[in-house]
Amino acid sequence: MPPSQDPALALRRSPLHEVHQAAGATFGSFAGWELPLRYPSGTVAEHRACREAAALFDVSHLGSLLLEGPSAFGTLQAALSNDLRRIGPGRAQYSLLLEPDGQVADDLMVWWEAPERFWVLPNAAQTAVVAARLGAEDRTAERALLALQGPRARSILQATWPEAAAVGHFQVAAVAFHGAACVVAGTGYTGEDGVEIAVPLAQAPALWTTLVDAGATPAGLAARDTLRLEAGLPLMGQDLGGRIGPLEAGLGWAVGWEKPELPAREVLLAARQAGPRWRLRGLLGGRRPLRAGAPVERDGQALGTCTSGSFSPLLGRGIALALLACPAPGHPLPDGTAVRVLLRHEEEPATVVTPPFTRLRPEDPGASR
H or E element that contains 132: helix 127-134
Q: How many CB atoms lie within 10 A of CB 349?
A: 12
Task: Give the C-alpha separation, 129 to 112, whole Å.
Answer: 21
Count of alpha carbons within 13 angstroms of residue 314, beta-carbon side: 27
Residue-level pLDDT at 337: 98
Q: What is the pLDDT of residue 313?
A: 97
In 3D, which of 131, 55, 79, 122 has the Cα closest to residue 259? 79
**Bridge partners, 173 (sequence order):** 184
pLDDT of residue 362: 73
Under DSSP, is residue 19 helix (H, G, I), strand (E, B) or coil? helix
Structural contact between residues 210 and 54, judged by C-beta atoms closer than 8 angstroms: no
| All residues at 6 or more sequence positions from 129 whose CB lies less than 8 Å from its CB, including other chains | 105, 106, 122
What confidence score (pLDDT) does residue 235 get?
98
**Ramachandran angles phi, psi of 175, nearest 5°:** -135, 135
Domains in the chain, start-ordered, CATH in brackets?
3-63+140-230 (3.30.1360.120), 275-367 (2.40.30.110)
What pLDDT, on the 0 to 100 scale, is given for residue 252?
A: 98
Q: Is 242 within 8 Å of 211 (Cβ atoms)? A: no
pLDDT at residue number 363: 65
| Single-letter amino acid code for the residue at 176 | A
Whether 157 contacts 173, CB under 8 Å = no
pLDDT at position 10: 87
Rounded to whole angstroms, how far apart are CA atoms 41 and 25?
10
Residue type, 230: E
Q: Residue-wise pLDDT tens for the chain (369 aa)? A: 333 444 446 899 999 999 999 999 999 999 999 999 999 999 999 999 999 999 999 999 999 999 999 999 999 999 999 999 999 999 999 999 999 999 999 999 999 999 999 999 999 999 999 999 999 999 999 999 999 999 999 999 999 999 999 999 999 999 999 999 999 999 999 999 999 999 999 999 999 999 999 999 999 999 999 999 999 999 999 999 999 999 999 999 999 999 999 999 999 999 999 999 999 999 999 999 999 999 999 999 999 999 999 999 999 999 999 999 999 999 999 999 999 999 987 899 999 999 999 999 876 444 433
354: three-class secondary structure by DSSP: coil
